[in-house]
Amino acid sequence: MNSTTFHLVLEKFKSGLSEKEKRQFATTTLDDVHVAIEKIQRKQQSEKRLRAMSKLELFLEGMKEYEKVVSVFLNTSAILAFVWVASTFHEAFDALLDAYQRIGEHMPLLAQYEDYFRNHPQMTRVLRLMYEDILKFHFKAMKYFQKRMWQQLFQALWKSFDTEFAAILRDLREHMALIESQATVAQFSEILATRTLIELQFDRDRENEVRKRRMVVHQWLAAANCGADQEAYAKVRQEHAGTGKWLLRENRFCSWFDPILCSTHMLWMNGIPGAGKTILTSLVVEEAMKLPDVHVAFFYCRYLDSERNTFLAIARGILSQLLFQDDALLTYIYEKASTSGQVTLSLEATARELLETSLKAFEKLYIVIDGIDECEGDQRQQIVSFFQSICDSLPPADEDSLRCMFVSQDDNIARKQFANISSLKITESHTRKDIVEFVAGRSKAIKQKFDLTTDRQQWVQDQVMKSADEIQCALSINLEDQTVDWERDRLRVDSKDLCGSLVNIHADSTVVIVHHSAKKYLIDKSLVNLGYGEGNLALLCISYLCFEGFDVEDDNRSVPDYIPSGYYGFMDYAYAYWARHLDAFLRVKESKDALNEISEAAEVFIDMYWAQPRTKSVPPKSFLARWEALSSNRNFNKLTIAAHLAQKQLIASTAHSSDLQVLKLHHALNKVREHLELESASANGATKLQAMYGENIFKCPRVNCIRFYGGFASQQERDDHIKKHERSFFCSFPGCAMATLGCSTPRELHKHETEFHKTFDYDDEEAEYPELPSQKVSFDCKECDAKFTRKQNLQIHMRSRHAESGSKPAAHVCSTCSKSFVRKNDLTRHVTTTHDDAKSFVCGGKLGDGSDWGCGRVYNRGDMLKRHWKSTKGKVCIVQKQNEEDADNASLSASLQPSAASTPQP
């Protein structure tokens, strides 16, 4: 047999190993494996958690004979050293042992076929294929156990690996069949061709599964588009080459940024509003991404944006980036998403767990968060303390694996929060050169546009430098005519050209104020009247929703006739935020005239849409007090109820319920959306429709879901998404139908995975689910004043305290510990589950009628059997036994009652 093919397989395997791993593999022998097994067993015994290491016997025996046979043909055993080392991992436990046992069961004992291989040398290729399969298993298993945070990732990863492992077992089974049947060359060639086709199909299926999982996790995280933010800010820098390069030469920054020589792992960069902190952050992110063997995640916070100013939002954003950098994290987060019961990640506890595991899973990770000061106070503290605690919890050997950079204004709160962190303050001397270059460029453009003289240009430039320290559908609506003409009245000037550097336009066409400090400046300088703006938006939303095109119950009006004009382009926003804008206006109470105008529109609005509520709803007193300014409104009570419920629906944790619908407005919304979806299916005018209504026409009906606005490109995607609101626990095993259909409760999911996927025992027996509180019952002793919550405690009390009253004495005594029992069954159960000298502990036995109970599973310790009986699966096993005992208890209780009744009363 030519050893070249073995060496080729080996070299392919070694290419994925580190130098240390190569040396370790090359010197490991079967004796080393036995020593390692003994060491593992001693360690487990000391920790009182022994495992069935005997499961390795079949594998070791098969590999020992394999080594002998291959050595005969190759004249070397050095190659075989590489199959031993994976067995020495001290982390090996039940799942890995089961895998080795299954491999051993599929490995023939080759010594008996030595003559066959000698007479058919071409069949020695089977040995090479077996060698490749075993190395493939070891490589994948080793990578799982060597990965950082493997303990936290294992349950999710092993489910995915189990699918690949099944393919390896299938190949080994076919190889064993070839050898045992002493197949011909033709049969072997046919099997080889089939194996190639199956591997290709398996690779395609795996790629499709990964794509599906990425889509599911992406929707579950519902993260802000950090990539669009980075792209927008990088584009600003590209317009002015060289901007911010001074930062890369700053000593304090370099001491944090250098991937090898790092003296500080956390850095706070700060400066005054308008210092260019966000643009500098984009430069840091861009430069970090160029570093070799470094992973990067970043986030840009935004003032008063719930998707960008909370710990939960930051966790979502960072997780969405990290899962693209590590497939193991994708599997882990997919597992959590499937079993969380949350349509989107909405629990901070879950986010903390996911983020901590993910941050610690990388060899070198840079985290950059801009705009911490744009978050509320409690959120700021939560964000900073979380990342500080993660850095502090890293062991000395891993402390350089995580670098964190925070960017914010220099205020009193930030100084306290970052008191123990190295800081870098952006000063005028840092940015002066960049400002001069920017102003000079803009002044040249102004000179050309207005034909200014050079002196005048210089004057403009000087004036700007002196003051450097200071900082579409809605327009188409005509309220008086109650019309919408998107084509004629839409904004035709680009928002960026109109507002300049005051706004940013993201990749998804979102227009935002460049920074919350700019918004604050506009309000403080009275350049923008906040109350006037909120009032105008409230009036616009309410009046717009009263247009005749929304009176869908009138058969004389056809929704499709209005769609081509862009009539419904403002509908989603107005439906969701009419109450929020009105509430914000009432907090300011800017103008009595505006209040009267809004009140009149609101009366008509309620008259048009009010529906009798199914349940009574009363707004909070604080809400009613704020809306007291509208108390003269004829529909005041109805208006406050409708507005309160409309705002309540915007809360992410609010369940979708018909009880929250007191307006018929949602009927109009649904009907309009149905027609929009039908119109979008037509090729005619599709581009124009997308310009008016967005690219994703198919939208979620829940107003507190981000997909209510963003929508989906297809009906199938939308329908699949809606199912997750209703059946939000999904099987995480690849290819399972329940990964799509879902389960309604975690218990239902657990039952499915246990019965159909044979999940590991430790999953089954450690699973805990909340149960309904038990009803309080009292069992009173008729001989004395003692009271008990359990019947058996009363029975024990009667036997021990009032035996002379006629109770039957204990007749069955344990020969080991002398403990007494009334029934023989109790004694038998005690002996088989308590004493360490029992050979085995079995789930099962004989009932009084001679029938069997239990699953028959054997345990080597009594506490493991007890643990099994506490699990969901074990409770099913023992239910028949418990029913029989309850019947015995009832019989015993009946025998006690006459005795108690015959006792003379004092």
Q: Are 641 and 613 in contact, with CB atoms under 8 Å apart?
A: yes
- Do 528 and 460 have their domain in common? no
Question: How many CB atoms sit inside 10 A of residue 249's CB?
Answer: 8
- Do 285 and 260 have their domain in common? yes
The confidence score (pLDDT) of residue 730 equals: 74
Per-residue confidence at 884, pLDDT binned at 50, 70, 90? confident
- Asked, for residue 93, whether it belongs to a domain, the answer is yes
Domain extent at residue 448: 434-466
C-alpha distances (whole Å) from 14 to each of 23, 29, 91, 808 are 10, 17, 22, 73
C-alpha distances (whole Å) from 644 to each of 542, 575, 582 are 15, 14, 11
- Do 682 and 557 have their domain in common? yes
- Asked, for residue 381, whether it belongs to a domain, the answer is yes
- Asked, for residue 254, whether it belongs to a domain, the answer is yes
Asked if residue 807 has pLDDT above 50, the reply is no
- CATH number of the domain residue 372 falls in: 3.40.50.300
- Do 444 and 334 have their domain in common? no
Distance CA 409, CA 370 (A): 10
- Asked, for residue 363, whether it belongs to a domain, the answer is yes
pLDDT tens-digit readout, 439-494: 676 677 766 766 667 777 677 666 665 544 433 565 556 666 556 655 555 555 55
- Asked, for residue 483, whether it belongs to a domain, the answer is yes
Distance CA 238, CA 254 (A): 23
Domain count, the chain: 6
In sequence order, the 6+-apart residues with CB closer than 8 A to the CB of 8 are none
- Do 741 and 655 have their domain in common? no
Rg for the chain (alpha carbons), in Å?
36
- Which helix (H) or strand (E) segment holds residue 821: the answer is strand 820-821
Per DSSP, 514 falls in state S
- Asked, for residue 707, whether it belongs to a domain, the answer is no
Ramachandran assignment for 745, one of left (phi > 0), alpha (psi -120 to 50 degrees), beta (any other): beta
C-alpha distances (whole Å) from 537 to each of 102, 383, 502, 585, 595 are 67, 33, 21, 9, 13
**DSSP, residue by residue, 164-207:** HHHHHHHHHHHHHHHHHTT--HHHHHHHHHHHHHHHHHHHHHHH
Tokens describing residue 401: 């694996």
- Do 566 and 610 have their domain in common? yes
- Asked, for residue 192, whether it belongs to a domain, the answer is no
- Do 492 and 640 have their domain in common? yes
The confidence score (pLDDT) of residue 284 equals: 94
Beta partners for 504? 512
- Do 283 and 418 have their domain in common? yes
Residue 494 burial (10 A CB sphere; 0-12, 13-18, 19+)? exposed
The confidence score (pLDDT) of residue 896 equals: 47
Q: Are 81 and 25 in contact, with CB atoms under 8 Å apart?
A: yes
Asked if residue 718 has pLDDT above 80, the reply is yes
Residue in 512, 520, 516 with CA at minimum distance from that of residue 496: 512
Among the candidates 153, 168, 183, a domain finishes at 183
- Torsion angles phi and psi, residue 406, rounded to 5: -115, 140
pTM: 0.51
Asked if residue 186 has pLDDT above 50, the reply is yes
- Do 620 and 487 have their domain in common? yes
- Do 552 and 585 have their domain in common? yes
pLDDT tens-digit readout, 818-833: 777 766 777 776 776 6
SS3 768: coil
Per-residue confidence at 361, pLDDT binned at 50, 70, 90? confident
The confidence score (pLDDT) of residue 618 equals: 84
Asked if residue 157 has pLDDT above 60, the reply is no
- Do 441 and 543 have their domain in common? no
The confidence score (pLDDT) of residue 160 equals: 62
- Torsion angles phi and psi, residue 3, rounded to 5: -80, -10
Q: Rounded to the nearest 5 degrees, what angle is found at the Cα of 839, between the Cα atoms of 835 and 841?
A: 70
Asked if residue 80 has pLDDT above 50, the reply is no
Q: Rounded to the nearest 5 degrees, what angle is found at the Cα of 658, between the Cα atoms of 654 and 661?
A: 85
- Do 745 and 657 have their domain in common? no
Tell me which of 53-62, 122-131, 665-674, 839-848 is least confident: 53-62
Residue in 371, 387, 383, 381 with CA at minimum distance from that of residue 413: 381
Report, in this order, helix, strand and coil percent for the chain, each rounded to 5.
60, 5, 30
pLDDT tens-digit readout, 592-623: 778 888 888 888 888 888 887 777 788 888 88
